[in-house]
Copies of this chain bind each other. A is one copy, B any other.
């Protein structure tokens, strides 16, 4: 097995100088004579020397790795956010290590443990839907390990975060429904401890009030974020004595499940029931009817989260900037009666 990488020592041996001299020459240290500097730099270039990041990491006590924990990785939503994180990380010379919680609290806790063992310098996290206790994150916080939340955040922990304005977005949705003649607007929400569920509910209620509609509890159902349970939730709505004439789901998984179920029941979209999704996956445009949806600036969310992370590293403890991004409502066929 030939030597894969060459070190300062190799250069030093070849040139019969000390390792420190080589190290200094490569950074143009004035202590080294111009001629020697040139000679060393030439050899380094010829031999394609690159510093060993492990040695540097050991010296500086940093791994240049960020742990990223997401509920899943195959969804466009998270994949796109990860891209955003990755872009900013790369600019700072950092790598990201991705772990998927699979929407499981247990796996989330394990991921934190494992990433900690790998000496990641900090975390960028989107909570799993099960997560309702936060000990594993509080531990990080008290150990002053940088932590940034995005999308699904823990409100009881004072850490930096980036979210979209769910209140505003759902208000828009509700008003949009109303302006299209809908009066019986239903909302399929997610687990109630999740900030996104709560915020969107607030916006929903406020939206109803603004439109002069009164809230009917039977139009508010919850589900976990699986397609199966979303289908069940939709069916629950459709077996009400009074049918809703508009439905929006917490995310697009729910919206698509709802769409299928509505069609299955022989109802027409948008004529019988208008439908709105959330997070605007690619499917939204290709489905029929195309789905009105709230676009999430996913890539930007990732970028901002990473930016917060690096601010966090620079500013040290106590830094807890919160960013709230605006989401746009993209109107398509599923709401145009």
Q: What is the bound-complex CA distance between A288 and B287, given in angstroms? A: 6
Task: With both chains docked as a complex, state the minimum distance between the C-beta of A255 and any C-beta of chain B, in angstroms.
Answer: 10
Interface range, A side: 35 or more
Tell whether A154 is near chain B: CB-to-CB under 8 Å.
Answer: no
A286 in contact with B256 given A1-B316, A79-B73, A79-B74 (CB within 8 Å) = yes
User: A76 — which chain B residues lie within 8 A by C-beta?
Assistant: 74, 76
Minimal beta-carbon separation of A282 from chain B (angstroms): 7
Min Cβ gap A90→B in Å is: 8
Number of copies: 2
Neighbour of A287 across the interface among B2, B52, B286, B316, CB < 8 A: B286
Taking a contact as CB atoms under 8 Å apart, the answer to whether B283 and A5 are in contact is: no
The verdict on A4 contacting chain B, using a C-beta distance below 8 Å, is yes
- The answer to the question of A54 belonging to the interface, with a C-beta cut-off of 8 Å to chain B, is yes
Identity of the chain B residue whose Cβ is nearest the Cβ of A78 in the assembled complex: B79
Instruction: Establish whether residues A83 and B74, one from each chain, have CB atoms under 8 Å apart when the complex forms.
Output: yes
| Chain B CB within 8 A of A145 CB | yes
Shortest Cβ distance from residue A279 to the other chain B in the assembled complex, whole angstroms: 13
Interface flags, A97-119, vs B, CB<8A=1, else 0: 11010000000000000001111
In the complex, which of the residues B5, B57, B82, B288 contacts A73, with contact meaning CB atoms closer than 8 Å? B82
11 A-B pairs within 8 Å (CB atoms) are namely A4-B143, A50-B116, A53-B117, A53-B119, A54-B63, A54-B119, A58-B58, A73-B83, A74-B80, A74-B83, A283-B286
